[in-house]
Amino acid sequence: MCGIVGYIGKREAYPILIKGLKRLEYRGYDSAGCALINGEGTLSVYKTKGKVSDLEAFCSDKDCSGCVGIAHTRWATHGEPSSVNAHPHYSSSRKLALIHNGIIENYADLRKKLERKGFSFQSDTDTEVLVQLIEYVRLSHTPALPLLSAVQLALRQVVGAYAIAVLDKDTPGEIVAARKSSPLVVGIGDGELFLGSDASPIIEYTDKVVYLNDGEIALLRPDEKLKVVNLSNVEVTPEVCTLDMELGDLEKGNFPHFMLKEIFDQPACLRACMAGRLSVDRKNIILSAVVDHKERLLAARRFIIVACGTSWHAALIGKHLIESFCRISVDVEYASEFRYSDPVISSDDVMIAISQSGETADTLAAVELGKQKGAFIYGICNVVSSSIARATHTGSYIHVGSEIGVASTKAFTGQVMVLTMLALALAHEKKTISEEEFGKLCTELGRIPAKIEEILQHNDQIGLLARIFTYARNFIYLGRGYNYPVALEGALKLKEISYIHAEGYPAAEMKHGPIALIDSEMPVVVIATKNELYEKVLSNIQEVKARGGRIIALVTEGDTTISKLVDYCIPLPETMECLTPLIASVPLQLLAYHIAICKGKNVDQPRNLAKSVTVE
């Protein structure tokens, strides 16, 4: 939700800011803007509705010189997407310019208070209130406060979430940045400093970063050591970390879209996810979190998994895996509902928080709630050192590399892979799985990447199939058991990038209502692999067929029974039932991708969405 970039040093800031914004565009693309201080000390703000490329076009005839700058790409919360509501926002004197990611919850009260003091506002945003508040605080002291102190005092009045960066025309040699509940990273170069909502705008300049913590304010001056203070003005020693990020993940390579690249990356990503954890030869799975916290995890009365969106679908698969293999009861909760549901949590519960970005506000809040109530928190995140990863007691990264496409693909299979390894490692410790079955599963897990490679060879066929269904207005996805969450995920992928209405159901639920929707216009995608529930799914297929539905079935290679019944088949390599989600989700990702492409949609940046949902 909104991306922030900043630079101060000896180079021209503008190209660094634009490149950084492009990297962060996945976080929002309603409008973009930048503020620069040039050699003469002029502070200029340029902003426009639309994408970063629109900002570039807008700036093409402007003076964008200067070695100090901040820039923003917006996902609108308060105020429609427009150039007036775009960031940066000036203060009334036009001496300050500010960018913000987050939501100022008490902005209406603050705005009224400032209006009474004579401030007027140009935009409908909560952000403009913040920059005016900083100016007000600053000027209400004699002499006027330094920017850092004004930001500090102003933020004490603010309720809500923010990552901000502020420029001051009167002190052109510094940027002040602060965070609470929205991520902010400072990159430390040689005589230059960088800012980013994540490390992607920074990685090619330096691998030394500081992740700001909640309530911290940083003073960026290029020739001085980074100064970090908290809201009470106590100086904090910043912890400098070395980045673990591949530049290649941030580029599309030879693929037309990040989403397609990320779908094709899955075999390599899953190999990376298993590396050092799964030993096929020794038939063992070692997760350091399980080794370090074995007693606590095995003593759990129950597991509660909290997540949103795709991560929630992975959670449903995790529930099935942990309950089946470990015989521990698991509740799966939407983090957004959980945090307000006055949940019953006790100190013998283990909470698993799943989040690709590690920044989802609702999931982070659920983690904080779980911690307050004494639960032990296990994080499954992709982004290293993200807020959720840092807030948990332990965890396992999925290690699939940066995911840029807004529609999650490789993160989903990475999450399912970690959950599978977690369930198996715990079951092995608890001895609720036989050595023989455990060994078989270890061997089969090791084969999953190669099986996904086989599926990826059907990409062109799936592309042709997509053409047939481009004009469908609705879709139904059906699955049972482990494949019910796969059906939900397939439907989510389609709706978020093609804007076709799609619903996922457990196949047997059809006759309790949704079957009324079936007619010859309704494509139905059925995950119908050979497993314990195969015969039942076969009956569900017959029921759809009898009502004229058009069926696309995912079947186990060599299945001739279903292929005779349905309209189109996508073959999947045979695997063990509990591992089917790892492979069955891949053709559904491709189907959604190709349908969206046929419809001419922007698959990497679908409308109204952002990759990282750092607001409620």
Chain residue whose CB lies nearest ligand M6R: 309
For position 200 contacting ligand M6R by CB under 6 A, the verdict is no
For position 406 contacting ligand M6R by CB under 6 A, the verdict is yes
Residue 69 or 405 having the CB closest to ligand M6R: 405
* Catalytic residue selected from 2, 59, 569, 578: 2
Query: Which residue, chain included where needed, has tokens 């965890």?
Result: 395
For position 356 contacting ligand M6R by CB under 6 A, the verdict is yes
Residue 340 or 471 having the CB closest to ligand M6R: 340
Among 197, 200, 311, 402, binds ligand M6R (CB under 6 A): 311
Q: How many CB atoms lie within 10 A of CB 456?
A: 16
Q: What is the DSSP-derived secondary structure letter of residue 599? A: T
- Chain positions 336 to 355 lying near ligand M6R, rule: CB under 6 A, are 355
Strands 474-479 and 523-528: parallel
Among 168, 265, 496, 559, binds ligand M6R (CB under 6 A): 496
Among 70, 131, 407, 590, binds ligand M6R (CB under 6 A): 407
Residue 112, C-beta contacts closer than 8 angstroms, at least 6 positions apart: none
CA angle (235 as vertex; 232, 238 as ends), nearest 5: 125
Within its chain, how far is the Cα of 363 from the centroid? 11
Which among 175-183, 401-409, 456-464, 514-522 is the span making contact with ligand M6R, rule CB under 6 A? 401-409
SS3 percent helix, strand, coil of the chain, rounded to 5, is 40, 25, 35
59 in catalytic set: no
Residue 181, C-beta contacts closer than 8 angstroms, at least 6 positions apart: 102, 160, 161, 162, 214, 361, 364, 387, 614
Which among 467-475, 561-569, 587-595, 606-614 is the span making contact with ligand M6R, rule CB under 6 A? 606-614
Among 77, 171, 357, 575, binds ligand M6R (CB under 6 A): 357
Report in angstroms how near the CB of residue 310 gets to ligand M6R at its nearest. Answer: 3
Residue 328 or 615 having the CB closest to ligand M6R: 615
Dihedral of CA atoms 354, 359, 365, 370 in degrees, nearest 10, equals: 40
Are 127 and 88 a contacting pair, CB within 8 Å?
no
Report in angstroms how near the CB of residue 522 gets to ligand M6R at its nearest. Answer: 23
Dihedral of CA atoms 471, 474, 478, 483 in degrees, nearest 10, equals: 80
- Chain positions 61 to 90 lying near ligand M6R, rule: CB under 6 A, are none
Between CA 611 and CA 604 the distance in angstroms is 10
Between CA 4 and CA 6 the distance in angstroms is 7
Residue 418 or 442 having the CB closest to ligand M6R: 418
Return the biggest CA–CA distance within the chain. Answer: 84
Give the H or E element holding residue 378: strand 376-381
Q: Pattern of binders to ligand M6R over 207-226, x per CB under 6 A?
A: --------------------
* Catalytic residue selected from 319, 493, 495, 611: 611
For position 1 contacting ligand M6R by CB under 6 A, the verdict is no
Between CA 17 and CA 35 the distance in angstroms is 10
Residue 165, C-beta contacts closer than 8 angstroms, at least 6 positions apart: 4, 6, 70, 98, 99, 175, 176, 177, 195
Report in angstroms how near the CB of residue 388 gets to ligand M6R at its nearest. Answer: 8
Among 132, 197, 336, 360, binds ligand M6R (CB under 6 A): 360
Residue 361 or 518 having the CB closest to ligand M6R: 361
- Side-chain-side CA neighbours of 470 within 13 Å: the count stands at 15
How big is the site for ligand M6R, counted in residues (CB under 6 A)?
17
Beta partners for residue 51, in sequence order: none
Among 597, 613, 614, 615, binds ligand M6R (CB under 6 A): 613
- Chain positions 251 to 310 lying near ligand M6R, rule: CB under 6 A, are 308-310
Report in angstroms how near the CB of residue 502 gets to ligand M6R at its nearest. Answer: 13
67 in catalytic set: no
Report in angstroms how near the CB of residue 550 gets to ligand M6R at its nearest. Answer: 25
Report in angstroms how near the CB of residue 588 gets to ligand M6R at its nearest. Answer: 12
Closest to 485 (Cα-Cα) out of 582, 611, 362, 358? 582
Backbone dihedral angles phi then psi of residue 74, each to the nearest 5 degrees = -110, 140
For position 17 contacting ligand M6R by CB under 6 A, the verdict is no
Beta partners for residue 307, in sequence order: 334
Residue 406 or 462 having the CB closest to ligand M6R: 406
Report in angstroms how near the CB of residue 604 gets to ligand M6R at its nearest. Answer: 11
Which among 139-147, 402-410, 525-533, 570-578 is the span making contact with ligand M6R, rule CB under 6 A? 402-410
CB neighbour class for 535 (10 Å; exposed up to 12, middle 13-18, buried from 19): exposed
Residues involved in catalysis? 2, 611
Give the interface with ligand M6R as residue ranges (CB under 6 A).
308-311, 355-357, 360, 363, 406-408, 492, 496, 609, 612-613
